[in-house]
């Protein structure tokens, strides 16, 4: 859907191009008629240039209309290439007609002086076109400052080119007036050469556009923007092409392999915004790939284990080196309902994948744990179980103060949260051993319990 602001700018651009088209077409009519009447080849040549300029302006007008159309099934990148195709056709036409006028000029230079020489009519036609060219230049320059647009810029350059060619034609007429009878033909010859050069440049540029040429400096600019975006490690391929006013870019970035999907999306959005801030008319597609070079070994092991079918959760991943060899330990949680044989098979797959992807790991030790899904909502408090837990905890003299005990019952699951205080000088290892032992004792007494113990210092 076209935004109201863009649609308003589009309407303004087409209105300006319509005015420019009518103006330059009127110049063609005046120059052609007056050139025939006054027998001025220079003026006729310039009138054909004005006609071709009218065609180019018409193409730009059609391109402005078509370029705003959204992509469809047959034009997934939009319709911007219409402008380049129109420029190619116009350039070829200018070249052929310019060659004809060069030939005609050479033929007339070798012929006797014409009986009818350019005079006042030729001068009036030329002056009228100069007035039209100046009007278009002022109109287009003001419009470019207000609403911008490549189509307006292209027409602005054509207006300047038309002004230059008209001045050359008038120069030839002036030479004829002062007795240099070949001046008109020389002016036509000069115009023909200029048009050949301009048409070749136009054909070359539009042909390059149609082959998706892009400036290496622009690609390098995008690469610098991507590399300097926080979170990006590197960039792989950058594919760019231009279609009308829009520059399309497919950018592949490398991110740390342990980056979460949410953060990866956020970094990709930053890259896209940074490019658009420097290149406003760009349409960006970002692809991201994992890079393990600077990722801690523990994170890589976690990622490998988590992807194994049957693994519900992974935690306590630890790696250490002994005698130059690397060892890994991790806790893997599996469905609590499966038997030991099935659980062991899962652990073997985890071990195999870790050693395959990280050959330097000598041995992997896996601690299997049952995974229990905890419901989000517990509705029933279990006071009887709370009393039972307090009786168990009173046997531990290391607990200096017993705090809150919350027991919530949901179907066959019991969620137990315990706050208890220990001597602040106890090592964290000792506290961990005690809480693990307490959890084990409570689970032996209370089935299907999910226990969380929060230790605090006294």
262-321 confidence digits (pLDDT tens): 888 999 999 999 999 988 778 888 998 888 777 788 888 988 999 999 999 998 888 888
| Tens-place pLDDT, residues 178-193 | 556 565 566 667 767 8
Q: Give the residue with greater pLDDT, 401 vs 373.
A: 401
Contact 58/66 with Cβ under 8 angstroms? Answer: no
Of all residues in the chain, the percent with pLDDT exceeding 90 is 14
CA dihedral 84, 89, 92, 93 (to 10 degrees): -140
- The single residue listed with the structure tokens 């970094």 is 267
Is the pLDDT reported for residue 2 higher than 50? no
**pLDDT at 366 exceeding the cut of 60:** yes
Distance between first and last Cα of the chain = 64
Output the CA–CA distances (angstroms, integers) from residue 316 to 63, 258, 304, 319, 333, in the order listed.
62, 16, 14, 10, 11
Q: How confident is the model at residue 329 (pLDDT cuts 50, 70, 90)?
A: very high
451 — pLDDT class (breaks 50, 70, 90): confident
For residues 244 and 429, the model is more confident at 429
The closest of 424, 415, 418, 420 to 450, measured between CA atoms, is 415
CB 458 within 8 A of CB 421: yes
- Encode burial over 84-95: b for 16+ CB neighbours within 10 A, e otherwise: bebbbebbbbbb
Confidence of residue 157 (pLDDT cuts 50, 70, 90): low
pLDDT above 90 (res 342)? yes
Cα 408 from chain centre: 51
| Paired residues of 409 in beta bridges | 380, 414
All structural domains of the chain, each given as residue ranges with its CATH number in brackets, are 4-210 (1.20.1510.10), 228-291 (3.30.70.1350), 297-371 (3.30.70.1350), 380-457 (3.30.70.1350)
Whether the Cβ atoms of residue 214 and residue 240 lie closer than 8 Å to each other: yes
Query: How many C-beta neighbours within 10 Å does residue 136 have?
Result: 26
Rounded CA Rg of the chain: 40
Residues in Cβ contact with 370 at an 8 Å cutoff, skipping those fewer than 6 apart: 333, 334, 335, 336
Q: Is the pLDDT of residue 241 over 70?
A: yes
Residue 419, pLDDT above cutoff 70: yes
Nearest to residue 271, comparing CAs of 249, 290, 293, 291?
249
Are 99 and 196 contacting, i.e. CB atoms less than 8 angstroms apart?
Answer: yes
Residues 254-266, mean pLDDT to the nearest whole number: 85
Query: Per the structure block, which two tokens stand in for 425?
Result: 């000088």
Q: How far apart are CA 82 and CA 62, in angstroms?
A: 8
Instruction: Compute the mean pLDDT over every residue in the chain, rounded to the nearest whole number.
Output: 79
Q: Cα–Cα distances in Å, from 184 out to 27, 31, 402? A: 19, 14, 110
Whether the predicted pLDDT of 457 surpasses 80: yes
Instruction: State mean pLDDT over 228-245.
Output: 84
- pLDDT tier at 3 (50, 70, 90 boundaries)? very low
Most confident region among 34-43, 137-146, 166-175, 260-269 by mean pLDDT: 260-269
Determine which of 199-213, 352-366, 372-386 has the lowest per-residue pLDDT on average: 372-386
Query: DSSP secondary-structure letter at 293?
Result: T
pLDDT at 1 over 50: no
Instruction: Express each pLDDT in 86-133 by its tens digit.
Output: 667 767 776 776 777 677 667 656 655 544 444 566 677 778 878 888
Residue 111: the pLDDT is: 53
pLDDT score of 51: 79
Mean pLDDT lowest among 5-19, 197-211, 298-312, 364-378: 5-19
The CA distance from 77 to 71, in Å, is: 6
Q: What is the mean pLDDT of residues 48-55?
A: 76
Encoding tokens for residue 78? 């939009």
Query: Quick one: pLDDT at residue 328?
Result: 92
Q: Which long-range contacts (CB under 8 A, 24 or more apart) does 196-204 make?
A: 196/95, 196/98, 196/99, 196/102, 198/94, 198/161, 199/91, 199/92, 199/94, 199/95, 199/98, 200/91, 200/95, 202/87, 202/88, 202/90, 202/91, 202/94, 203/88, 203/91, 203/92, 203/95
State whether the Cα torsion 85-87-88-92 is positive or negative: positive
Q: Is the pLDDT higher at 245 or at 453?
A: 453
Hey, is 242 helix, strand or coil?
Answer: strand
């Amino acid at each position: 859907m076209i935004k109201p602001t863009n649609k308003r700018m589009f309407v303004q651009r087409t209105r300006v191009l319509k005015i420019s088209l009518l103006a330059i077409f009127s110049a063609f009519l005046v120059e052609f008629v007056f050139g025939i009447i006054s027998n001025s080849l220079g003026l006729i040549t310039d009138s054909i240039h004005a006609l071709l300029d009218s065609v180019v302006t018409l193409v730009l007008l059609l391109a402005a209309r078509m370029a705003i159309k959204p992509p469809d099934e047959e034009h997934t990148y939009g319709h911007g290439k219409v402008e380049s195709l129109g420029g190619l056709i116009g350039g070829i036409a200018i070249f052929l007609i310019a060659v004809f006028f060069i030939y005609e000029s050479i033929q007339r230079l070798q012929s006797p002086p014409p009986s009818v020489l350019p005079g006042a009519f030729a001068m009036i036609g030329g002056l009228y076109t100069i007035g039209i060219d100046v009007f278009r230049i002022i109109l287009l320059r003001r419009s470019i400052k207000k609403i911008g647009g490549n189509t307006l810029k292209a027409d602005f350059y054509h207006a300047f080119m038309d002004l230059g060619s008209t001045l050359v034609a008038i120069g030839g007429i002036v030479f004829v007036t002062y007795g240099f009878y070949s001046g008109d033909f020389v002016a036509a010859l000069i115009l023909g050469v200029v048009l050949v050069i301009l048409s070749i440049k136009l054909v070359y540029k539009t042909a390059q556009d149609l082959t998706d040429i892009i400036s290496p400096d622009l690609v390098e600019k995008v690469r610098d923007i991507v590399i300097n975006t926080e979170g990006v490690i590197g960039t792989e391929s950058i594919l760019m092409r231009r279609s009308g006013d829009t520059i399309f870019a497919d950018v592949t970035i490398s991110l740390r392999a342990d980056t979460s999907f949410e953060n990866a999306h956020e970094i990709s959005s930053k890259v896209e915004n940074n490019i658009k801030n420097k290149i406003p008319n760009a349409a960006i597609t970002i692809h991201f790939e994992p890079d393990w070079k600077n990722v801690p070994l523990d994170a890589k092991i976690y990622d490998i284990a988590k992807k194994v079918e049957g693994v519900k959760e992974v935690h306590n991943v630890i790696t250490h080196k002994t005698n130059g060899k690397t060892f890994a330990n991790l806790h893997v949680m599996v469905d609590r309902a499966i038997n030991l044989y099935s659980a062991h098979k899962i652990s073997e797959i985890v071990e195999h994948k870790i050693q395959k992807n990280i050959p330097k790991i000598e041995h992997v030790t896996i601690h299997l744990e049952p995974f229990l899904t905890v419901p989000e909502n517990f509705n029933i408090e279990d006071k009887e179980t709370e009393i039972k837990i307090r009786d168990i905890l009173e046997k531990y003299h290391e607990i200096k103060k017993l705090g809150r005990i919350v027991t919530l019952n949901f179907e066959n699951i019991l969620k137990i949260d315990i706050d208890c205080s220990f001597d602040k000088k106890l090592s964290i290892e000792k506290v961990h051993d005690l809480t693990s032992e307490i959890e084990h004792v409570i689970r032996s007494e209370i089935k299907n319990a999910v226990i969380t113990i929060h230790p605090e210092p006294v």
